[in-house]
Amino acid sequence: MTASGGFLGRAARAVWSGRGAWASVARGLLLAPAALYRGAVGLRNGAYDAGLVRSRRLPAPSIGVGNLTVGGTGKTPLCRYLAAELGRRECRVGILLRGYGGDEVEEYREELPAAIVVADADRHRGAGEAVRRGADVLVLDDCLQRRDVRPDATLAVVAAEFAAAVRWPLPAGPWREGLSALRRADAVVVTRKSALPESAASLARALAPRTRGGEGLVAELFPAHLVPLAGGAPTALDMLCGRRVVAVCGIGAPEAFRAQVVATGAGSVELLAFGDHHAYGPGDVAAARAAAGAAGLVVTTGKDAVKLRGLWPEGAPTCWVAQLDVRVADDGGFLARTLDAIAAARRNLQTAAATPPARHE
């Protein structure tokens, strides 16, 4: 079962990943607008590369995360992971994002209550606001195409599940930019939700030489536990074993979420997929509850939970939130060194600010 609200998103994914003649024809019809899009992106990048338009540094040590494709890469969970790691290094983290749809902003605030979350399309203005409110390091969610900002380190995210998608630009394919954009990143992070570990590692090795830092990492995104939508203690995933489950989501890669729920051992999993950043209404909740029935369970994502929480009534079926965790394979220590350097830069700035100017006799 799929929701009509996600029709355009499902159609786009079918065209982008389809191997049949109909998908080839559909992509062919989109070649003209794709060429215009690629041309516009090329002109813009050329202006920055030639120095005709300049990027500016941010007012605090920073790390940025961006992707080459639209939606579903795991960019936001990776940003949360980085923010948490910087927090463990005693940093006061500011998270900058555009805040499209509102769900990611609330998700950050729920998951990282100590962080300063600023949603502003103008990242320089947002950075100033975060610093004014006490942030001493910054994490930028979605910045690879934001050439006006220059983070101290940049990670480009590619989803292993998208590796088979045709590498055509929008709207003929899901690619914002081609692989040449990796040269603006210090490392590529290949995320995987349902892809095999070997496939993700192979892709990371293949893409690493294209980055300016020559680094390739793999980040596994996996459900760690379940929590009730209304709040409460975490519950182990084996609660789903053998049960009938309806997976409800409005994200960029719904099939990957379904695969994650299937991997928990659920007896059957029915996907109810809406468009990315979907604005849920009572009718959507009623459809999910009807699909599950009194004996079934509903599982959703953290991104969707912030919108569903005020709509879900008490009683069966219960809605559970699958909370994602991130496990990064960093055998070479690149990411740890990068985060240590950002934390050290923040301490150096604090020391310099606290040191009075030397007196000259």
Question: What is the pLDDT, as a whole number, of residue 8?
Answer: 63
Question: What is the pLDDT, as a whole number, of residue 357?
Answer: 60
Pairing of β 215-228 and β 93-97: unpaired
Question: What is the pLDDT, as a whole number, of residue 18?
Answer: 74
User: Within 13 Å, how many C-alpha atoms sit on residue 175's CB side?
Assistant: 22
Phi-psi region of 102 (alpha: psi -120 to 50; beta: other; left: phi over 0): left
Identity of the residue numbered 242: G
Residue 52 has pLDDT above 70, yes or no: yes
Residue 339 tokens, joined: 């985060």
Higher-confidence position of 70 and 102: 70
Q: Which of 106, 311, 321 is nearest to 231 (CA)?
A: 321
Pairing of β 93-97 and β 187-192: unpaired
Residue 21 pLDDT level (bands cut at 50, 70, 90): confident
Question: What's the gap between Cα 155 and its chain centre?
Answer: 12
Mean pLDDT of the region 200-204: 96
Please give the Cα distance from 41 to 32 (Å, whole number). 14
Mean pLDDT of the region 337-361: 76
Residue 154 tokens, joined: 């940049």
Angle at 76 between CA 202 and CA 252, to 5 degrees: 75
Q: Which residues contact 2 (CB under 8 A, 6 or more apart)?
A: 10, 271, 272, 273
Residue 129 has pLDDT above 90, yes or no: yes
Q: DSSP class of residue 193?
A: S
Question: What is the pLDDT, as a whole number, of residue 316?
Answer: 80
Residue 183 has pLDDT above 90, yes or no: yes
Mean pLDDT of the region 340-349: 89
Residue 7 has pLDDT above 70, yes or no: no
Residue 62 tokens, joined: 């920073």
- State the alpha helices, DSSP H only, in the chain: 7-17, 21-29, 31-49, 75-88, 103-111, 123-132, 197-207, 254-262, 282-292, 302-308, 334-354
Question: What is the pLDDT, as a whole number, of residue 165?
Answer: 66
Domain boundaries, the chain: 62-220+332-353
Please give the Cα distance from 129 to 115 (Å, whole number). 13
Residue 347 has pLDDT above 90, yes or no: no
Mean pLDDT of the region 81-109: 92
Residue 107 tokens, joined: 């998700």
Kindly state the percentage of the chain with pLDDT values over 70.
93
Residue 10 pLDDT level (bands cut at 50, 70, 90): low
Q: Which residues contact 22 (CB under 8 A, 6 or more apart)?
A: none
Identity of the residue numbered 126: G
Question: What is the pLDDT, as a whole number, of residue 2?
Answer: 43
End-to-end CA distance of the chain: 80
Write down the mean pLDDT value for the chain: 90
> What string of DSSP letters covers 115-129?
SEEEE-SSHHHHHHH
Indicate the CATH number for domain 62-220+332-353.
Answer: 3.40.50.300
Residue 1 has pLDDT above 50, yes or no: no
Are 289 and 268 in contact, with CB atoms under 8 Å apart?
no
Long-range contacts of 102-106 (CB under 8 A, 24+ apart): 102/306, 102/307, 103/277, 103/303, 103/304, 103/306, 103/307, 104/76, 104/141, 104/303, 106/306
Are 326 and 84 in contact, with CB atoms under 8 Å apart?
no
User: Within 13 Å, how many C-alpha atoms sit on residue 339's CB side?
Assistant: 18
Strand partners, 235: 226
The helix, strand and coil proportions of the chain, stated in percent and rounded to the nearest 5, come to 40, 25, 35
Q: pTM score, two decimals?
A: 0.89
Residue 334 pLDDT level (bands cut at 50, 70, 90): very high
Residue 282 has phi, psi (to 5 degrees) of -55, -35
